[in-house]
Amino acid sequence: MDEAVRRALARWPGVPAVYGWLALDRRGEWRLRNPASGAFERIGNAALRAVIARNYAADARGAWYFQNGPQRVYARLESTPLVYRRDGDAFRDHCGRLAGSIRGAWVDAPGALYLAGVHGVGVLDDRDLQAVSALLEDRHGAGLDAGFDWAALAPGEVWLRVAAARRIALGPVARDALEAQFGFVSEPTA
């Protein structure tokens, strides 16, 4: 968290939180609600996106927010609190932080991949799925067929190579069970 934000929190405690104005989409793009249309529009200003990313955290309920000075601006999550992207041999979240050691991986029936890194759980940006699919193997280390049926995934059947000598098993997950399984709130309310 930025030092200026810490000072603002100390100076003005108890500022009411804001809900329904900020959203994070499945590709890690921040969006603000347009008051005229009610639609969420992509934040184009790179400096603002960077400030949000540096001051993005979760409360005890698992509701994620941007600490905007003394005020929390809660984020509506289209998928998960984090969105991971492939960065060379590593993964980074949408805030630019390295995922660190991947502790778990899951896939849902439509084929979305979810990873648990040091900062939490996140969906893999769908634009990286093709590149990451080359890291998926069966239990014997062979690559997967393009037509693999994700809906029929059994635990231990598919593995993700996360380092030269390290693989982790993919588990199945239901998209509608993500919040409960990983402890986050996709639509925070007061």
Element holding 106 (H helix, E strand): strand 104-107
Tell me what the mean pLDDT of segment 171-185 comes to. Answer: 96
pLDDT at position 156, please?
84
pLDDT at position 148, please?
78
Domain 3-77, architecture per CATH: Roll (3.10)
Q: How far apart are CA 23 and CA 19, in angstroms?
A: 10
Burial label for 148, CB within 10 Å (0-12, 13-18, 19+), is middle
Task: List alpha helices for 12-156, DSSP H.
Answer: 46-54, 129-133
135-157, pLDDT tens digit by residue?
A: 999 888 888 877 777 777 888 88
What Rg do the C-alpha atoms of the chain give, in angstroms?
A: 18
Residues of the chain with CATH 3.10.540: 3-77
Task: List alpha helices for the chain, DSSP H.
Answer: 3-11, 46-54, 129-133, 178-182
Residue 80 — pLDDT band, cuts 50, 70, 90?
Answer: very high
Residue 36 — pLDDT band, cuts 50, 70, 90?
Answer: very high
Residues pairing with 72 in the sheet: 67
Please indicate, yes or no, whether the overall pTM of this predicted structure exceeds 0.85. yes
pLDDT at position 10, please?
75
